[in-house]
Amino acid sequence: MRFVCWHYDHWAYGSNDVIIDGHIIKGDKRRGKGLVPNPVMREDETVNNVCLADPIGGSASFCDTWVNILRV
């Protein structure tokens, strides 16, 4: 079992170059080396493209998704 810290890495958030007002702001590739669990979060089968939700807090139910990840 591997635990994934939800906020360790995200797509973008400074890992990719961006253009702001015509200037290139260089990304830091170290920020893109982690793992973001969004693609493997379990979806609510009654509502398309929505992850399971915590009925009390209203946020995404992070602890209810168990997955097997295989290296390809």
pLDDT tens digit string along 4-14? 666 555 556 78
Buried b or exposed e, range 41-52, using 16+ CB within 10 angstroms: beeeeeeeeebb
Within 13 Å and on the Cβ side, how many CA atoms surround 42?
14
Beta bridge partners of 58: none
pTM comes to 0.39
The pLDDT tens digits for 30-59 are 877 766 677 777 788 888 778 888 888 877
Nearest to 68, CA basis, from 36, 40, 38, 34: 40
